[in-house]
Amino acid sequence: MKYVLTCLILLSSTFLLRAQNADDVIGKWKNGEGTGIVEIYRTTSGHYAGKIIWLKEPIDPDTGKPKLDKRNPDETKQNVPTLGLVNMHGFTFNNEDKVWENGSIYDPKNGKEYSCKMEMKDQNNLKVRGYIGVSLIGRTDNWTRQIKK
């Protein structure tokens, strides 16, 4: 009986670890490669967005100056610094599925924007899935919350 009770407690706590409300995603998240940190925030319109607030290598080795969004297909944006760039936007929270969806993520490494959805595995781990068309065709990156010390 103790075994069954312990299993039920562990199982129920696993469900509690998932996002309980839309603002749980707000914070600073390091990407899976460890090369950047994105701060996710709620916009005045109630959507969720994110901007790059830290880069492991913020200086372009070719120029010795801050990295620019030089792969952006819009030539007017190619001189915008990568640090501070809003690269995620338009997310809404689906309370039933506990996911942030209908958003977009921009990858300054290749200058492409993808549809995106996010799901918290627990309070400190976020699955970010960028895709083209349907979610089956894409890539998932696991981000880690950056906790203030």
C-alpha span between 64 and 22 (Å, rounded): 40
Partners of 129 in the β-ladder: 117, 140
Res. 20 pLDDT band, cuts 50 70 90: confident
**pLDDT over 60 (residue 111):** yes
- What pLDDT digit, counting tens, does each position of 50-81 carry? 999 999 999 999 999 999 999 999 999 999 99
SS3 content of the chain, % helix, strand, coil (to 5): 15, 45, 40
Which domains occur in the chain, in start order?
A: 2-145 (2.40.128.520)
Mean pLDDT of 119-135: 94
Residue 93 CB contacts under 8 Å (≥ 6 apart), including other chains: 19, 21, 22, 25, 48, 99, 100
pTM: 0.85
Q: How confident is the model at residue 8 (pLDDT cuts 50, 70, 90)?
A: very low
